[in-house]
């Protein structure tokens, strides 16, 4: 049975793995390791030729996962991602054209922002849930704290430069519901297809909000 979406995709898990898949045969075992570790929301970035096939495989074979498409930057990618089985969309930034395509796609979406004006622009258009990217380079937790006062209705998933050392600080902010990251997917583990290690790192990441995750 396919896992149901909560009211908000931000509430699926404290950490959303940001996955770059080069070999589509890795998609299903990788997704199963992440889900077993407690991270059901999986953002597969559209950075490789294998990405859409990976989304299609995960959607078909790992129903417990909530697979989404990341690095979505065109309306054509919106359509292709949803057709492949993506259940949410994430973009690094937004334009009115892209926003409208995501809005009519029928799935939840997180448009990317890195400035106050971009946040206000989305709020004007009725969007309150966003990706903050690149989080560390754009000001990190200090910047998000500053936004919480004048713009408390905006909620964020910061991504970019986040790891187990600083994720708890982000997750402690009132306007942050989850973070995106790659640290549970080390390149050597993926190359070795060491899915047990991915599962262990995912489990540690899943416990970061309540303090049970290991600080590695």
Active site residues: 43, 131
Considering only CA atoms, which of 137, 112, 106 is closest in space to residue 127?
112
Where helices occur in 27-172 by DSSP H, the ranges are 27-36, 51-61, 75-84, 96-103, 116-124, 140-148, 167-171
For 180-202, give one letter per residue: b (16+ CB within 10 A) or e. Answer: bbbbbbeeebbeeeebebbbbbb
Q: Residue with structure tokens 């009132």?
A: 174
DSSP letter (8 states) at residue 132: E
> Which secondary-structure segment (H or E) carries 112?
strand 112-113
> What DSSP designation does 60 have?
H
Coil vs helix vs strand at 18: strand
The Cα–Cα gap between 55 and 68 comes to 7
Rounded to whole angstroms, the Cα distance separating 194 from 178 reads 26
């Amino acid at each position: 049975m396919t896992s149901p979406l909560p009211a908000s995709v931000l509430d699926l898990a404290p950490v959303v793995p940001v996955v770059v898949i080069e070999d589509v045969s890795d998609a299903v075992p990788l997704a199963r390791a992440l889900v077993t570790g407690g991270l059901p929301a999986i953002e597969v970035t559209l950075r490789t030729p294998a990405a859409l096939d990976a989304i299609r495989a995960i959607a078909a074979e790992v129903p417990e996962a909530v697979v989404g498409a990341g690095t979505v930057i065109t309306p054509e990618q919106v359509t292709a991602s949803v057709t492949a089985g993506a259940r949410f969309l994430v973009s690094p930034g937004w334009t009115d054209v892209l926003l409208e395509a995501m809005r009519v796609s029928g799935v939840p979406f997180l448009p990317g922002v890195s400035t106050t004006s971009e946040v206000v622009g989305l709020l004007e258009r009725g969007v309150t849930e966003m990706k903050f990217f690149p989080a560390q380079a754009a000001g990190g937790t200090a910047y998000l704290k500053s936004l919480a006062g004048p713009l408390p209705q905006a909620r964020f998933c910061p991504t970019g430069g986040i790891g187990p050392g600083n994720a708890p600080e982000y997750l402690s902010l009132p306007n942050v519901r989850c973070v995106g990251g790659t640290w549970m997917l080390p390149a050597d583990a993926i190359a070795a297809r060491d899915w047990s290690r991915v599962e262990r790192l995912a489990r540690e990441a899943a416990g970061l909000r309540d303090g049970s995750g290991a600080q590695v």
